[in-house]
Each structure stands twice: as structure tokens, then as C-alpha cells.
């Protein structure tokens, strides 16, 4: 509040306003000066608003005052596509418009010219579960089209591999890469997808965003790891010496640069020299010493910790996690998820035996991946984007990745009905981006927030009619994460069950085996059922049938 008041006072002193203030001041002016309001009401007698579902509180209040009781107002919007509540949009504006403007005539534009009827049937079924919507039913006189393909991946790597294989299939059938798009709920999901696209040599473009290793928070974290590996990395040093802010200002950094050039040495060595000869202020010297001690601690940790534990240690010790987590809303949450995904990315570099090259290999890979430039606008490239970025776009082929509980709907939304409804609207937007072919994929196990999670398929998928879905089962040759001390290669010979095996239960339906413990009549099996969640069963009486 104090920062906001100081900001407002500074704007007042300089005679400036920001965009939101323009609307607020105009609204106040009209309320306090009827003659001015009358002037503008006479000047603008016909009002037309597009994307009305995305208006916020002050925009609607401004519009209501300007429209008054006599002006003609037309608004165009779709309450089922109101997906920006996190940045202030109020779906209530479109829902209560008819009450605020008595005599309103509502025209429903329900015929769809984009998607097949199968895709529209799925979208209608999902969104019908939102109780507070105005209500409409999309239809088309076009073709029925293929059923929606649903793939249950073993993990996120298998999911990415499946999607890339389908992309290549469609390309071989004369579909351009640019006519195919991969959509996801969270930016952090792009990392595994990008790696698989790079591995297979498929050009891609991040729409409305950056590649994983080009993101601000990832560059900062990698810079800390680079300094932990080698102190003479000047680019990494400059990037994080005052990130997060620790009192090392531009004057000190310029002194470091000058000493480094003068002594033909690195900025790290220059810092040691300036500290030793007392050339810095006491405040700057203390801040620099603390920073260098932090980097030395990270360096020592690199010789004793696994790469995954080292990455987690660096994020906490540097305070990067808290620093980037201060951003409010979806952006702050996305930065935290990206940093957690960076920790996940280090797992594939874990060395065998006494090999100590894991950190170097990871840094080399990060440098190469960030060096891969975005495909230019003239290149036939696959489009990657978040569901929020996809609004207003369309593609012949769409892959909607990560349709699983706690990811989509996002775990922060499931406890609040209003936010859950917005997640469902986001799913509706995603489904209706597809023109001809739609693939839904989910991972039965996913590395998320630094640990393996076992999530059921999204409730949104379960809301789609069975006749609109075609399940795909592909046996992938991949390694799958297991509980400590157990292996997928070894089965419990008494029960005949395997970790990771998909099974059917007469009551709970389909699921995947997560754990097996005990022997003989005491053997128990943990199964994550698609519809019922995780349950422990006595193996002898479970009557599980392999699928």
C-alpha cells in the first residue's frame, strides 16, 4: 500500500497517469460534471465493444456511465472464453449485462465454421459443466471428423515422444508443421517438449513467449551454476552479482570491470584484488564478500551433492526462488514452476559410478539449447504456446499436453469453484482451437515440483462423451521412474504384477500400478485409478487384470 501511495504521489507531482488511471479519472470526471458527460454522450451515441468477456470493473463502470439510458450499445463476447480473471477480467460483466441494460436483445452465434462436429461435441460437453454460464450450443454443418485421440503416457518424456511422432506422421501426410500446435497449461511444460523437438530436428516457434533456457529466471539460475563450476565466467558473474539485489551497485561493478581490464584478469579475480587492497567502500566490500562466499559454498556443494540436489541447493542458497516468487499472479507462479522444471532437467545428467562431469554436461546442453534460435517467420515450424496464448488462433492439428489432475485443472484452482470454472473455460478454448485433429495427452507419472507425482487423467477429459474419444495405447521403450529399491524389470512373481503396469479392477476401473510391498498373503499393491485416485489393495483379493 505504501509503495502504491508513493507511486500515486509521484504521478500527481509530475502530472502523469497510467492507462488504468485514464479510465478512472474519466469516470470520476463524468460523475462529477454532468455537462461534460452530456457532451460525450451526444458525441458517441452508438457504442460497440468487442471481447466484452475480458472487460474489468473500471472498464464496465466507465461504459455504463457513457452509455447512460439513451445511447445504443452493442457488446460482442463469449462468456465461455473468459479466461483472464487472473489479470482482472470480470465474467460477471457479461453475465449481468442484460440486467444492467433492460430490453437487451441477445443474439447467439452458435454455428461454427472451424471445427468438426466431433470436436464441437466434446467442447460443448465439457463447458456444460459450468453452472453459471449464459448457455449456447456450438454446431456445424461440416464433417463429423475423427474422434479425439487420448494418449496415456508413462511419463513426460514418453508424452513428448508421442507428440513428436504424431507431428512427423502428419508431415508425411502433407500437413505443414506450421499447421500443427502444441498447447499446454504451464510454461514449464515446454522444456521436455522442446528437448524432443530439438533432438529430432523439428523446427519450432514459441508463440508469445521464450524458449525454456532463454527465460529470465532460468538464465539467472544457470549463471549461478556456471559460476559454481568456474569462477572466471565473467558473463555469469555480471548477471548474478547483484541478482537478487544485495547492495552491489553499478559503481562497484564498473570498478570491477576496470580492474579486470587493467589486470587482464576475470572479474572474480578483480573482486579478490579490490577486497584485498581495500579499494571499495565498507558496504560494497561486505556485500561482495558475502556474494563470493555464497558462490564458494555452491562450488563446494557441487563436489558432494548430486546434480539435482545441487540445483535445488543453489536455488535456495541464492534466494532466487523467493526472489522470482515475489511476482504476483500467473507470472510469478510460472517463474517458480520454470525453476522447479530446471531442477527436473538436471536428473537426466546424473553420472554413473564416479563420473563427475554431470554439471559440465548439463551446462553445455543448456548453452546449446539456448543457442538454438527461434525458427523465423518464413520457416515451416511447429507452434508451441500456453492455452492463454492460443485464444483467437486455430490449427488443423492440435496437441493438448498435460491433461491431468493438479496440472490441468491447475492444483491452485481445484478448491475454488470460480477458478475451477475458469480452468474449464480454458479447456474449452483449447479444444476449439483444433480444426480437424485433436490429441489429448497426459502422463501417468510426472516429475513436478522436484518430486514424482502420480495424477489421474483430468476431470475435463472424463466430461467428454465416450463416443468422441479414441484411446491410444503405444508401448514405448523408455525407462520409467519407480519407488526406491524397486525396478520395472522385476515383477512380483507371486502376484504376477509389474510396477507401471496398467490394470483393470471390477469396481474402480482402469489404473496404473505405483507400488508393491509385502509377500504372500500379506502382499499389497498401490494402484492409481483413472477415476478413483490412488488406492492400496490386498493383492490376493484385488483381482486385477492386465490391460
CATH number of the domain at 547, please: 2.30.30
Choice between 2 and 355, residue whose per-residue pLDDT is larger = 2
pLDDT for residue 526: 79
Query: Do 221 and 347 share a domain, yes or no?
Result: yes
Overall number of domains in the chain = 4
List of long-range contacts for 406-409, beta carbons under 8 Å, 24+ apart = 406/448, 406/453, 406/455, 407/185, 407/186, 407/189, 407/446, 407/448, 407/455, 407/458, 408/185, 408/458, 408/460, 409/458, 409/459, 409/460
pLDDT at 491 over 50: no
Choice between 149 and 518, residue whose per-residue pLDDT is larger = 149
Query: Do 434 and 516 share a domain, yes or no?
Result: no
pLDDT at 536 over 70: yes
Question: For the stretch 111-135, what's the b/e string if a residue is b when 16 or more beta carbons lie within 10 angstroms of its beta carbon?
Answer: ebebbbbbbbbbbbbbbeebeebbe
Q: Give 52: exposed, middle or buried? Use CB within 10 Å, 0-12, 13-18, 19+.
A: buried
- Cβ atoms within 10 Å of 143's Cβ, excluding its own: 10
Query: Do 145 and 175 share a domain, yes or no?
Result: yes
Identify whether the C-beta of residue 148 lies closer than 8 Å to the C-beta of residue 124: no
Query: Do 467 and 494 share a domain, yes or no?
Result: no
State mean pLDDT over 324-343: 86
pLDDT for residue 242: 94
pLDDT for residue 391: 93
pLDDT at 82 over 70: yes
Q: Give 56: exposed, middle or buried? Use CB within 10 Å, 0-12, 13-18, 19+.
A: middle
pLDDT for residue 269: 94
pLDDT for residue 354: 45
pTM, to two decimals: 0.72
CATH of the domain at 333: 1.10.486.10
State mean pLDDT over 299-311: 92
Residue 105 lies in a domain: no
- How far is residue 486 from each of residues 5, 445, 516, measured CA to CA in Å? 58, 16, 9
Report the C-alpha gap between 512 and 456 in whole angstroms. 10
Residue 361 lies in a domain: no
Query: Do 136 and 245 share a domain, yes or no?
Result: no
pLDDT for residue 490: 35
Residue 450 lies in a domain: yes
Residue 83 lies in domain:
2-100
pLDDT for residue 355: 46
Query: Do 138 and 199 share a domain, yes or no?
Result: yes
Tens digit of each residue's pLDDT (9 = 90 or more) over 191-209: 999 999 999 999 999 988 7
pLDDT for residue 351: 63
Query: Do 59 and 9 share a domain, yes or no?
Result: yes
Which of these three, 100, 132, 147, is where a domain ends?
100
pLDDT band at residue 13 using 50, 70 and 90 as cut-offs: confident
Which of these three, 447, 472, 497, is where a domain ends?
472
Q: What percent of the chain has pLDDT over 70?
A: 91
Query: Do 416 and 539 share a domain, yes or no?
Result: no
Which of these three, 69, 100, 131, is where a domain ends?
100
Query: Do 54 and 143 share a domain, yes or no?
Result: no
pLDDT at 493 over 80: no
Residue 490 lies in a domain: yes
CATH of the domain at 451: 3.40.50.300
Q: Per-residue DSSP letters for 27-77? A: HHHHHH-HHHHHHHHHH--EEEESSGGG--HHHHHHHHHHHTTTSEEEE--
Tell me how long the chain is.
547
Residue 360 lies in a domain: no
Query: Do 455 and 388 share a domain, yes or no?
Result: yes
State mean pLDDT over 449-457: 78
pLDDT for residue 365: 81
Residue 359 lies in a domain: no
Query: Do 427 and 522 share a domain, yes or no?
Result: no
List the Cα angle 192/510/439 in 5-degree steps: 40
Query: Do 466 and 488 share a domain, yes or no?
Result: no
pLDDT at 86 over 90: no
State the chain's mean pLDDT as an integer: 88
pLDDT for residue 521: 63
Amino acid at each position: 500500500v505504501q509503495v502504491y501511495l508513493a507511486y500515486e504521489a509521484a504521478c500527481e507531482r509530475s502530472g502523469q497517469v497510467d492507462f488504468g488511471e485514464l479510465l478512472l479519472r474519466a469516470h470520476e470526471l463524468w460523475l462529477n460534471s454532468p455537462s461534460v458527460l452530456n457532451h460525450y454522450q451526444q458525441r458517441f451515441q452508438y457504442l460497440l465493444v468487442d471481447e466484452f468477456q475480458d472487460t474489468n470493473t473500471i472498464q464496465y463502470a466507465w461504459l455504463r456511465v457513457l452509455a447512460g439510458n439513451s445511447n445504443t450499445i452493442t457488446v460482442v463476447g463469449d462468456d465461455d472464453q473468459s479466461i483472464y480473471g487472473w489479470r482482472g477480467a470480470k465474467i460477471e460483466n457479461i453475465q449481468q449485462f442484460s440486467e444492467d441494460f433492460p430490453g437487451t436483445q441477445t443474439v447467439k452465434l452458435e454455428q461454427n465454421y472451424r471445427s468438426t462436429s466431433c470436436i464441437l461435441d466434446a467442447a460443448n460437453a465439457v463447458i456444460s459443466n459450468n453452472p453459471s454460464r449464459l448457455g449456447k450450443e456450438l454446431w456445424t454443418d461440416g464433417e463429423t471428423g475423427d474422434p479425439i485421440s487420448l494418449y496415456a503416457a508413462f511419463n513426460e518424456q514418453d508424452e513428448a515422444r508421442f507428440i513428436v511422432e504424431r507431428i512427423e506422421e502428419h508431415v508425411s501426410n502433407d500437413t505443414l508443421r506450421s499447421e500443427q500446435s502444441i498447447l499446454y497449461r504451464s510454461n514449464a511444460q515446454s522444456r521436455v517438449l522442446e528437448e524432443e523437438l530439438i533432438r529430432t530436428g523439428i523446427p519450432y516457434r514459441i508463440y508469445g513467449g521464450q524458449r525454456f533456457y532463454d527465460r529470465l529466471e532460468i538464465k539467472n539460475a544457470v549463471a549461478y551454476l556456471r559460476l559454481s563450476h568456474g569462477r572466471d565466467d565473467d558473463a555469469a558473474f555480471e548477471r548474478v552479482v547483484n541478482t537478487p539485489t544485495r547492495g552491489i551497485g553499478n559503481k562497484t561493478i564498473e570498478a570491477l570491470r576496470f580492474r579486470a581490464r587493467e589486470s587482464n584478469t576475470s572479474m572474480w579475480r578483480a573482486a579478490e584484488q579490490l577486497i584485498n587492497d581495500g579499494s571499495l567502500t565498507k558496504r560494497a566490500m561486505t556485500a561482495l564478500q558475502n556474494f563470493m562466499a555464497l558462490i564458494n559454498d555452491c562450488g563446494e556443494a557441487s563436489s558432494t551433492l548430486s546434480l539435482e540436489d545441487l540445483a535445488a541447493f543453489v536455488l535456495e542458497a541464492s534466494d532466487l526462488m523467493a526472489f522470482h516468487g515475489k511476482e504476483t499472479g500467473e507470472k510469478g507462479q510460472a517463474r517458480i514452476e520454470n525453476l522447479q522444471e530446471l531442477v527436473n532437467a538436471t536428473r537426466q545428467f546424473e553420472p554413473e559410478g564416479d563420473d563427475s562431469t554431470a554439471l559440465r554436461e548439463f551446462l553445455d546442453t543448456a548453452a546449446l539449447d539456448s543457442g538454438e534460435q527461434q525458427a523465423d517467420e518464413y520457416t515451416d515450424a511447429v507452434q508451441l504456446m500456453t492455452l492463454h496464448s492460443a485464444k483467437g488462433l486455430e490449427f488443423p492439428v492440435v496437441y493438448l499436453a498435460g491433461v491431468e489432475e493438479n496440472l490441468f485443472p491447475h492444483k491452485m484452482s481445484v478448491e475454488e469453484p470460480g477458478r475451477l470454472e475458469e480452468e474449464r473455460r480454458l479447456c474449452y478454448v483449447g479444444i476449439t482451437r483444433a480444426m480437424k485433429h485433436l490429441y489429448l495427452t497426459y502422463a501417468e507419472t510426472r516429475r513436478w515440483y522436484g518430486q514424482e507425482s502420480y495424477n489421474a487423467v483430468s476431470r475435463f477429459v472424463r466430461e467428454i462423451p465416450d463416443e468422441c474419444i479414441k484411446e491410444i495405447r503405444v508401448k514405448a521403450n523408455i525407462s520409467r521412474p519407480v519407488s526406491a529399491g524397486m525396478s520395472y524389470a522385476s515383477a512380483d512373481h507371486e502376484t504376477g504384477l509389474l510396477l507401471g503396469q496398467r490394470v483393470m479392477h471390477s469396481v474402480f476401473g482402469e489404473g496404473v500400478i505405483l507400488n508393491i510391498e509385502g509377500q504372500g498373503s500379506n502382499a499389497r499393491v498401490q494402484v492409481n485409478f483413472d477415476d478413483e485416485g490412488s488406492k492400496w489393495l490386498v493383492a490376493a483379493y484385488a483381482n486385477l487384470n492386465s490391460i
